[in-house]
Amino acid sequence: MITLQNVRKDYLVDKKSITALKKIDLTIERGEIFGIIGHSGAGKSTLIRCINLLEQPTSGSVIVDGKDLTQLSQGDLQRARHEIGMIFQHFNLLASATIYENIAFPLRLAKRPAAAIDRKVRELLDLVGLTDHATKYPSQLSGGQKQRVGIARALANDPKVLLCDEATSALDPMTTQSILKLLADINKTLGLTIVLITHEMHVIREICDRVGVIDEGEIVEVGPVAEVFLKPQQKITQEFVEQVSDFDFPEELLAQYLRMPEAERARHQVVQVSFLGDTTFQPVMFQVLQEHPVQFNILHGTISRIKDTPFGRLVLEITGDPGAAQKAVQNLQERGLQVEVLL
């Protein structure tokens, strides 16, 4: 659906060239919710604005639904942008216009018939849950309601792509959840491709299918969100994952084992087991115990979700003959679990 090929963006600041994006190669599939996460100044806002050419890349290609936007005339680019909606961190609503008129604004620019505009606006008000607020002004709405207006306005021209530029950063946690749920529902209902940028990993975990991590103008890691959470490859990705980790293993438990006499400790192994998807609710531990003469003691554990996928982590003490413990670990790995030996 969206392909960026060798995209680079340079700015001229005080007669010096500053590179914001370096050789970005990225593919976003039709119908997915793709997150781009990075720290402030990493280049994520520049990247998302290059997708609809609000920022003109210095070099490279931006292909959306089969069209290379960098090669289009101004008129063709304007028409192509009708298929790319965008919502912003600070809403960008018309303060002197009613909610109805804010949503109708892009339709009036497109010179749609009055009856079609009215029908579409009322449909969108219903979609975002603001039917009773049509005659109000932005100053009369909460932050979450303003963002719902922004979403409705972005959907007015029936886009194929929705770009979200830090869409929840100005909102409180509860309102953020409601907006993320709305975006997820829109993605499912309309089959819309959504690209969102954020510096908050919980947003990625909540609704994204895949994620790209950007650092100093480069995409350093891309993958399904569940895989990135369980197996982050880059240090910056590990830092983001740790921001939202609800797995805080008490270090004093490991210290207890380190104080054991060496001969006794040889019969105790401490491992961290990570599991994902259907495996989360299968009796894997029981099955392994049936096959190996060892004992499991659960020291710590959590079960959570990544979008619609359950995942969890357990810290286990495996007690028994070291050879049997090794085979038990191998059996867990053969069943698709990730096992890390802690001690």
Task: Kindly list the domain boundaries of the chain, sorted by start residue.
Answer: 2-243, 251-341
Name the DSSP letter for residue 166. S
* Residue 246: per-residue pLDDT: 60
What CATH fold (topology level) applies to the domain 251-341? Alpha-Beta Plaits (3.30.70)
CATH numeric code, 2-243: 3.40.50.300
- The pLDDT assigned to 48 comes to 94
At 70 the pLDDT is 93
| pLDDT in the model for residue 334 | 84
Query: Nearest to residue 65, comparing CAs of 3, 153, 149?
Result: 3
Burial, 117: exposed, middle or buried (Cβ in 10 Å; 0-12, 13-18, 19+)?
Answer: buried
> CA quadruple 221, 227, 229, 230: dihedral positive or negative?
negative
* Domain pair 2-243 / 251-341, same fold: no
**CA-to-CA distance for 226 and 161, rounded, in angstroms?**
23
The strand pair at 161-165 and 193-198 is best described as: parallel
- Up-side HSE of residue 266: CA atoms within 13 Å toward CB? 5
Residue pair 9/218 in contact by the 8 Å Cβ criterion: no
Task: Please give the pLDDT value at position 139.
Answer: 95
Q: Which residues does the chain have with pLDDT short of 70?
A: 245-250, 254, 278-281
